[in-house]
């Protein structure tokens, strides 16, 4: 099943999966996010674009619960609950997934073992029976084909010795296995060649369902050739300065960010 | 010719002060020991060797922290203890239970068991076998294999590289295991040597001297396992002399899992001949204070040697590894991997010297020491020392001291794993790096379980104290 942007038009009577309200946050005393507002409804794919240093990765980190960020004001509701009071593991069990910009290498921890443990934690939390080794392998083998990854990777330690492209595809594999309600993809396109980009995009597209949502964070438009967002937001200096349909991405590609940065400054 | 960090071998400090009062007890113990040895028909050469070693010890005394090689490890508590040689003990029920439940009890292979430094002969003996492997206690071997042992022990005494503690050991070591694998012999199952200490009074000393000789092109695995009963502070002194002949493939695994009242002072002295392939593992899990020296000479060309170790510390225990690897001949590789997990107020010490002699071109020497501190009060001291006199070599070293990688923890948690599980996974992986280098599968499996049980018992495995 595939969805076009138009087909999954949101039903405004529904509760948003994610609702960010006037979020201001920083790190080590330096304010980075200066009032973010964002609503993502089931079935939607949103893209956040912006120049380097605009706060894109900070937003992703705060959503996933990384340590070291200070919330100055504002709130983040995830399926109606205060997201910011949940531990990173509870966010994951509630269906939030962050595809890391820099997936972490974990020497000595076997990939299959790790992924099975993670999946069973999530299933347990959702009141589903845990999968045994055989059931897990059947599931993961099906998903691994989608990402065109080598099954041998499952026998290796998590991300250790993986190429840049393999690491990113492995993130999407984990996402495919964990079936999140909201997936945040932080610069998943960076460091990918065009073939890997298509595979990742295909993986993400296949995971789109009417009851889930994706937030794609990217610097470049090229990923959005393959993953078509419903909405594109431009983040500049900690604020969303413009939101529009998918055509905004194309405009940014041809004109760059400078004009929008200038406009944002004028508006201030 | 680049020469880095040239330090001379630590010299035995001169004692200007009067002999410590405890040494009277050492002399008395030796007089007793000597009369037993004479009565027991010990060869003359050995008795005079013991006298020489005793003198060497009495002159030098225990190493002190003034000695550069003992900077972080104080033996004051050892020298202050009374000096009594552990008596032979009857293997009682507790001993039987300890042995039956011990780590390698399920691993099949021929074995020797010692209690308080005495060979337990009541146990079934499988030392003579049709493959020609010689396995016996030292007391018997000095008569049956007199030439080999005389040469080995004399050489030890002459080079004296294991210092005054080695001298004290040879003066008093009545027993130990002697393993001689003939040339071209392949021994499939490991040879397991178990050393049990069961002190009855404070200050009991056990001295064992082991000799392992792997003949040319032989292949064998030898396991040394140190365990104990009781709570009296006591001292285990162990010296193992290992000789790998040309082309021999030898795995030596030592598991030090003594009672927490024990001071464990040990040396592995290894001489490797050309084209041998030797893996030495040191798992230091027990004791109150443990010092393990590994002194290796790579004497011929084309040797591949791995020195691999894991230490776990908690409470206020101290675990010290002192390595000295000497590349004498060209074209050899030596890799050292030591990981430590330290909790509470435990201290880990690692010193690693790699010496590459002028002729040892094309040496490939690598050393890593990683320390994981689970508590703010745990400490690790690590010191690499490279002495390189050849110009065409590859030598690297690296050391880390730190906590669990916060990025790794966050990554695991962001996939739904509870923080306690994430911590366990990372700690297990850290220890697993070392365990997986053990080739003997049966031993590796039981070690893996044992290490995991021990890690689980440390206080801050699941939760950080910060």
Q: Using an 8 Å Cβ cutoff, are A81 and A52 in contact?
A: no
How far apart are the CA of B419 and the nearest CA of chain A, in angstroms? 8
The answer to whether the Cβ–Cβ distance between A108 and B412 falls below 8 Å is no
- Helix and strand numbers (H, E) in chain B are 10, 20
Q: What is the pLDDT of residue B124?
A: 54
Q: Using an 8 Å Cβ cutoff, are B426 and B403 in contact?
A: no
pLDDT exceeds cutoff 80 at B89: no
Give percent of chain B above pLDDT 90: 83
Please report residues of A whose CB lies closer than 8 A to that of B448: none
- ipTM value > 0.90: yes
pLDDT in tens, B247-266: 999 999 999 999 999 999 99
Nearest to B112 by CA among B181, B191, B180, B175: B191
The token pair that represents A94 in the structure block: 């509630």
Helices A133-146/A164-178 angle, 10° precision: 130
Question: What long-range pairs does B395-398 form, CB within 8 A, spacing at least 24?
Answer: B395/B354, B395/B356, B395/B363, B395/B364, B395/B365, B395/B366, B396/B365, B396/B366, B396/B367, B397/B352, B397/B354, B397/B366, B397/B367, B397/B368, B398/B367, B398/B368, B398/B369
Name the interface residues of A facing B (CB cutoff 8 Å): 64-67, 87-89, 91-93, 97-98, 100, 103-104, 106-109, 114-115, 117-119, 121-122, 125, 157-158, 174, 178
pLDDT exceeds cutoff 80 at B6: no
Whether the CA torsion A172, A174, A179, A185 is positive or negative: it is negative
Interface contact B411, partner A, CB < 8 A: yes
How far apart are the CA of A114 and the nearest CA of chain B, in angstroms? 8
How far apart are the CA of A106 and the nearest CA of chain B, in angstroms? 6
Q: What is the pLDDT of residue A12?
A: 53
The token pair that represents B147 in the structure block: 């030439």
List the single residue in A93, A109, A178 with the smallest CB-CB distance to B429: A109
pLDDT exceeds cutoff 70 at B8: no
Interface contact B433, partner A, CB < 8 A: yes
The rounded distance, in Å, linking the Cα atoms of B224 and B252 is 8
Burial label for A102, CB within 10 Å (0-12, 13-18, 19+), is middle
The answer to whether the Cβ–Cβ distance between B426 and A106 falls below 8 Å is yes
Radius of gyration of chain A, Cα coordinates, nearest whole angstrom? 18
How far apart are the CA of A210 and the nearest CA of chain B, in angstroms? 23
Interface contact B47, partner A, CB < 8 A: no
Give percent of chain B above pLDDT 70: 94
The answer to whether the Cβ–Cβ distance between B429 and A88 falls below 8 Å is no
Nearest to B427 by CA among B350, B373, B381, B379: B373
Q: Order across the sheet with A182-186: list the strands.
A: A96-99, A182-186, A213-218, A45-49, A231-236, A239-244
The answer to whether the Cβ–Cβ distance between A89 and B414 falls below 8 Å is yes
pLDDT in tens, B146-181: 999 999 999 888 887 789 999 999 999 999 999 999
Burial label for A13, CB within 10 Å (0-12, 13-18, 19+), is exposed
Q: Which helix (H) or strand (E) holds B171?
A: helix B163-172
Nearest to B447 by CA among B250, B247, B245, B221: B221
pLDDT in tens, B103-149: 999 999 999 999 999 999 755 555 456 789 999 999 999 999 999 99
Nearest to B386 by CA among B360, B405, B419, B409: B360
The residues near B322 (Cβ < 8 Å, ≥ 6 apart) are B69, B291, B292, B293, B294, B349, B351
Please report residues of B whose CB lies closer than 8 A to that of A100: 411, 414
The answer to whether the Cβ–Cβ distance between B411 and A100 falls below 8 Å is yes
For the segment B215-228, the average pLDDT, to the nearest whole number, is: 98
The answer to whether the Cβ–Cβ distance between B416 and A104 falls below 8 Å is no
The answer to whether the Cβ–Cβ distance between B416 and A122 falls below 8 Å is yes
How far apart are the CA of B218 and the nearest CA of chain A, in angstroms? 32
Please, what's the b/e burial string for B368-406 (b: 16 or more CB within 10 A of its CB; e: otherwise)?
A: bbbbbbbbeebbbbbbbbbbbbbeebebebebebeebbe
Number of alpha carbons in the 13 Å side-chain half-sphere of residue B352: 24
The answer to whether the Cβ–Cβ distance between B416 and A64 falls below 8 Å is no
How far apart are the CA of B417 and the nearest CA of chain A, in angstroms? 6
The rounded distance, in Å, linking the Cα atoms of B40 and B27 is 19
Q: What is the pLDDT of residue A148?
A: 82
Q: What is the pLDDT of residue B17?
A: 58
Helices B22-39/B44-60 angle, 10° precision: 180
pLDDT exceeds cutoff 90 at B393: yes
- For residue A158, which phi and psi values (nearest 5 degrees)? -55, 115
The answer to whether the Cβ–Cβ distance between A67 and B429 falls below 8 Å is no
The rounded distance, in Å, linking the Cα atoms of B323 and B312 is 18
pLDDT exceeds cutoff 60 at B2: no
User: 3-state SS of B221-257?
Assistant: EEEEEEEECCCCCEEEEEEEEEEECCCCEEEEEEEEE
Q: How confident is the model at residue B310 (pLDDT cuts 50, 70, 90)?
A: very high
Note down pLDDT in tens along chain A; length 268 residues: 334 444 444 455 689 999 999 999 999 999 999 999 999 999 999 999 998 889 999 999 999 999 999 999 999 999 999 999 999 999 999 999 999 999 999 988 899 999 999 999 999 999 999 999 999 999 999 999 888 888 888 888 999 999 998 999 999 999 999 999 999 999 998 888 888 899 999 989 999 999 999 999 998 888 888 999 999 999 999 999 999 998 888 888 888 888 888 887 777 6
Query: Which DSSP symbol is given to B186?
Result: B
B137 by DSSP, 3-state: which? strand
The answer to whether the Cβ–Cβ distance between A65 and B419 falls below 8 Å is no
For the segment B329-356, the average pLDDT, to the nearest whole number, is: 97
The token pair that represents B223 in the structure block: 């396991």
């Amino acid at each position: 099943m595939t969805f076009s942007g138009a087909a999954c038009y949101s039903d405004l009577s529904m509760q948003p999966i994610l609702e960010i309200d006037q979020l201001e946050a920083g790190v080590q005393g330096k304010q980075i996010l200066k009032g973010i507002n964002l609503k993502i409804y089931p079935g939607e794919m949103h893209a956040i674009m912006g120049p380097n240093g605009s706060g894109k990765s900070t937003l992703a980190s705060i959503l996933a619960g990384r340590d070291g960020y200070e919330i100055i004001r504002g709130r983040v509701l995830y399926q109606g609950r205060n997201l910011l009071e949940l531990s990173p593991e509870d966010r994951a069990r509630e269906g939030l997934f962050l595809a890391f910009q820099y997936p972490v290498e974990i020497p000595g921890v076997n990939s299959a073992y790790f992924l099975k443990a993670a999946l069973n934690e999530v299933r347990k939390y959702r009141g589903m029976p845990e999968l045994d080794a055989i059931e897990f392998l059947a599931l993961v083998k099906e998903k691994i084909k989608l990402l065109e990854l080598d099954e041998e990777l499952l026998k290796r330690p998590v991300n250790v010795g993986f190429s840049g492209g393999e690491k990113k595809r492995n993130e999407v594999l984990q996402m495919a296995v964990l079936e999140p309600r909201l997936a945040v993809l932080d610069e998943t396109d960076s460091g990918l060649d065009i073939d890997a980009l298509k595979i990742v995009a295909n993986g993400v597209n296949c995971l789109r369902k009417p009851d889930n949502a994706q937030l794609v964070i990217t610097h470049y438009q090229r990923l959005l050739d393959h993953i078509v967002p419903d909405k594109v937001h431009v983040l500049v200096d900690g604020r969303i300065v413009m939101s529009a349909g998918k055509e905004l991405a194309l405009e940014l590609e041809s004109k760059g960010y400078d004009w929008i940065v200038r406009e944002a400054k004028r508006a201030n | 010719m680049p020469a880095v960090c040239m330090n001379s071998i630590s010299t035995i400090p001169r004692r200007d002060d009067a002999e410590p009062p405890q040494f009277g007890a050492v002399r008395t113990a030796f007089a007793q020991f000597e009369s037993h040895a004479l009565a027991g028909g010990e060869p003359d050469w050995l008795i005079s060797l013991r006298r020489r070693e005793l003198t060497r010890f009495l002159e030098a005394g225990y190493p002190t922290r003034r000695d550069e090689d003992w900077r972080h490890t104080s033996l004051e508590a050892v020298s202050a203890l009374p000096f009594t040689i552990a008596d032979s003990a009857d293997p009682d029920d507790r001993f039987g239970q300890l042995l039956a439940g011990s780590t390698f009890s399920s691993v099949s292979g021929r074995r020797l068991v010692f209690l308080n430094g005495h060979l337990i002969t009541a146990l079934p003996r499988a030392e003579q076998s049709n493959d020609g492997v010689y396995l016996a206690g030292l007391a018997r071997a000095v008569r049956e294999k007199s030439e080999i042992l005389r040469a080995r022990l004399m050489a030890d005494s002459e080079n004296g590289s294991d210092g005054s503690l080695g001298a004290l050991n040879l003066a008093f070591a009545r027993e130990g295991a002697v393993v001689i694998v003939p040339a071209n012999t392949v021994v499939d199952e490991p040879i397991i040597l178990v050393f049990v200490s069961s002190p009855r009074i404070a200050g009991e000393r056990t001295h064992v001297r082991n000799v392992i000789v792997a003949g040319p092109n032989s292949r064998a695995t030898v396991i040394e396992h140190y365990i104990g009963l009781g709570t009296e502070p006591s001292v285990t002194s162990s010296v193992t002399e290992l000789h790998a002949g040309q082309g021999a493939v030898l795995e030596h695994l030592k598991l030090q899992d003594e009672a927490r009242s024990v001071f464990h002072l040990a040396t592995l002295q290894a001489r490797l001949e050309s084209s041998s392939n030797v893996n030495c593992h040191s798992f230091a899990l027990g004791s109150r204070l443990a010092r393990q020296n590994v002194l290796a000479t790579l004497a011929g060309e084309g040797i591949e040697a791995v020195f691999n170790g894991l230490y776990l510390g908690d409470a206020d225990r101290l675990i010290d590894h002192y390595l000295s690897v000497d590349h004498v001949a060209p074209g050899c590789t030596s890799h050292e991997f030591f990981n430590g997990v330290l909790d509470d107020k435990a201290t880990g010490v690692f010193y690693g010297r790699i010496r590459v002699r002028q002729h040892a071109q094309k040496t490939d020497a690598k050393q890593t020491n990683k320390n994981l501190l689970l508590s703010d009060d745990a400490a690790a001291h690590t010191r690499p020392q490279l002495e390189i006199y050849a110009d065409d070599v590859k030598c690297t070293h690296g050391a880390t001291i730190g906590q669990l990688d916060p990025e790794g923890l966050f990554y695991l948690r962001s996939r739904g794993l509870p923080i306690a599980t994430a911590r366990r996974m990372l700690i297990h992986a850290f220890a697993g790096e070392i365990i997986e280098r053990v080739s003997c599968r049966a031993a590796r499996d039981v070690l893996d379980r044992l290490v995991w049980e021990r890690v689980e018992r440390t206080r801050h495995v699941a939760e950080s104290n910060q």
